[in-house]
Amino acid sequence: MVHITSPLKRPLLLSAFLGLAGCATTVDGPARAIPGPPALNDSNVFCEASRTELVIPVGGAFAEGSLVKDFYTGNTARVRNGQVRMTPDDNAEGLLLLEPVDETVHAFTWAGATVYFAVTDRFANGRADNDINYGRQKDGKDEIGTFHGGDFAGLTQKLDYLADLGVNALWITPPFEQMHGWVGGGDRGDFRHYGYHGYYALDFTVPDANFGTREEFRTLVQQAHQRGIRVVMDVVMNHPGYSSLQDMQTFNFGALHSGFEKHLPEHWGDWRPESWENHHAYHAFIDYDHADWRNWWGKDWVRAGIADYDTPPSASVDPVRGSLAFLPDFKTESTNPVELPVFLRNKESSRAEHLDNATVREYLITWLTDWVREFGVDGFRVDTAKHVEPDAWRELKARAQEALDDYRERHPDTALPSEEFWMVAEVFPHSVRKTGYFDAGFDAVINFDLQAEAKAGARCLQAMEPVYREYADKLHGDDPFNVLSYISSHDTKLFAQIAGDDNTLKKRAAAALLFTPGAVQLFYGDESGRAFGPTGSDPHQGTRSAMNWQAIEAGEVSDILNHWRTLGQFRQRHPAIGAGEHKLISQQPYVFSRQHGDDTVVIAFGSGN
């Protein structure tokens, strides 16, 4: 979700925000009875990584006399007296990643997935000739809220990069055509805010030209599948995008106050505020009571508090029917049939068609699942899930599964990693617990807790023990469920902000995240120390800075990136890391095992603390 704040009136059409050598200390008894080292409760404790030989107890995870390998170095050792002796690689930050030498390939499970979240526009520009469309413009300044040029072609070109990270699912921002124009960005309206992030949909049936073509999207999905990477598409069913001056003029909806055309340029989207104004000021030109707002979505489709549209309650009072961040709220709960909105009927490029006796919900679900049916999309990340009624999500999941089944039947010879359609919900601020969302069609919910917990773990991995134990016990207990945990997000902050200039923390964060039970999410650039960018008066815009390809290609962040790659590949080889039983074996060095079926690993961290 893109968070927005605005002090202005007409809220629903206003602006966007918008390791030491030595003997091991082993532990007997159940893991939950083992207290963590008290000093590690201090998030400022920093463990010096061991580069000398460690004695690693394997706790019965590997049979006596068996040969095990450290995935980081490729070195092997034989289990003697329940232990192995090995030395961490100089670049491994004290880690030893132990697996059987005769390791076999283990089947993928979403319970141990590694999901890479890329904001399409900010990730990779594969085609410069599609960077400007629909009359959009650069601002010539910090480009906080403008389109940067990232596209489907760029994502496709970087799939081998993602495969090298051990990624097995790619989450992309919504690909739909966005509102063409801009709204005022931030509380102060200090920048132009376009829908570069995909959450301001204009037409759900076609891709935005800035992102690319239908064939380029098809190629992205097919090429991802050939690498065993599933594609998870971000979807929004709570709201469309805002109105903008540019869209009002292009699609002939809404109206200006009489005579106010003289205050606007020939192309309304080119308007600039005077020196004493900000980018919210254009609202003074607009007659929000005019009857021609019926030519937009219309009162049967959304609550928007304009003209004859219903005024929504506060989302704090009614989370389902309230407006979020001043956005028009879809009437997904309505049982009344609706006609296609006027502007979509008249939009030549739209693929939206009339559906007999269809409700708002039925139109939206049809539009969203058509992407699955045509392209073979493997899953949805659902935006603002708590603000739409649960029945809508159950229906979306069932229809999406039908669409995926249909695609698989029509493409029997195509690389298709997924049989079961996967849905994950964004429910702020959900934690690791099983709630009603799992009865509403969701296979996982985003976990908002790990970002704060991972700081201490990046400094000293032992600090993650109570977190790992709690997560594994909850997720893989008698009533199993799944969460998607992260350390960076487009709606909170980057771990790079938490780490500051400390590249060692950026590197060590890989272990804290990638060894977390359940599914985990890398936000683009976690693996390369991508820096926080220009943000204006919206504290979240800087989390969506351009991917730091120049630093990667120049080798400036190779130490960080190579570490993430090694740990990511190890996680990919072993679903047990995310899906398995967690067992603490030793406190010093810190050693634990994960086991899921016939998949067993032992992870050790040697430190000087």
Count CA atoms within 13 Å of residue 464 on its CB side. Answer: 31
Q: For residue 73, give both structure tokens.
A: 């170095």
DSSP 13-35: GS-------S--EE--S-GGG-P
Q: For residue 294, give both structure tokens.
A: 């019926």
Annotated active-site residue in 383, 453, 538, 599: 383
Annotated active-site residue in 190, 426, 443, 527: 426
- From 234, 216, 105, select the one nearest 169 (Cα to Cα): 234
- Phi, psi dihedral angles at 549 (to 5 degrees): -60, -35
How distant, in Å, are the alpha carbons of 174, 453, 589 from that of 516? Answer: 27, 11, 19
Dihedral Cα 535, 540, 544, 548, nearest 10 deg: 70
Q: Is 426 a catalytic residue?
A: yes
DSSP collapsed to 3 states, 181-207: CCEEECCCCCEEECCCCCCCEEEEEEE
CB 14 within 8 A of CB 183: yes
CA–CA dist 61, 602 (Å, integer): 7
Q: Is 420 a catalytic residue?
A: no
The secondary structure of the chain in percent helix, strand, coil, rounded to multiples of 5, reads: 30, 20, 50
- From 208, 181, 200, 202, select the one nearest 192 (Cα to Cα): 181
CB 415 within 8 A of CB 226: yes
Query: Residue type for 316, please?
Result: S
Give how far the C-alpha of residue 527 lies from the chain's centroid of Cα atoms, to the nearest Å: 15
Dihedral Cα 91, 92, 98, 100, nearest 10 deg: -30
CA–CA dist 372, 377 (Å, integer): 5
Task: List strands edge to edge, sheet with 67-70.
Answer: 25-26, 581-588, 590-596, 599-605, 95-100, 67-70, 76-78
Q: Are strands 201-207 and 76-78 parallel, antiparallel or unpaired?
A: unpaired
CA–CA dist 231, 175 (Å, integer): 12
What stretch of H or E contains 231?
strand 230-235
Lookup result for tokens 């400390």: 502
What stretch of H or E contains 308?
none
DSSP 409-441: HH-TTS----SS-EEEE--TT--SS--GGGGTT
Non-local (6+) Cβ contacts of 480 within 8 A are: 111
DSSP 488-547: --TTS--HHHHHTT-HHHHHHHHHHHHTSSSEEEEETTGGGTPPP---TT-TTGGGGPPP
Count of CB atoms within 10 A of residue 460's CB? 27
Residues marked active site are found at 383, 426
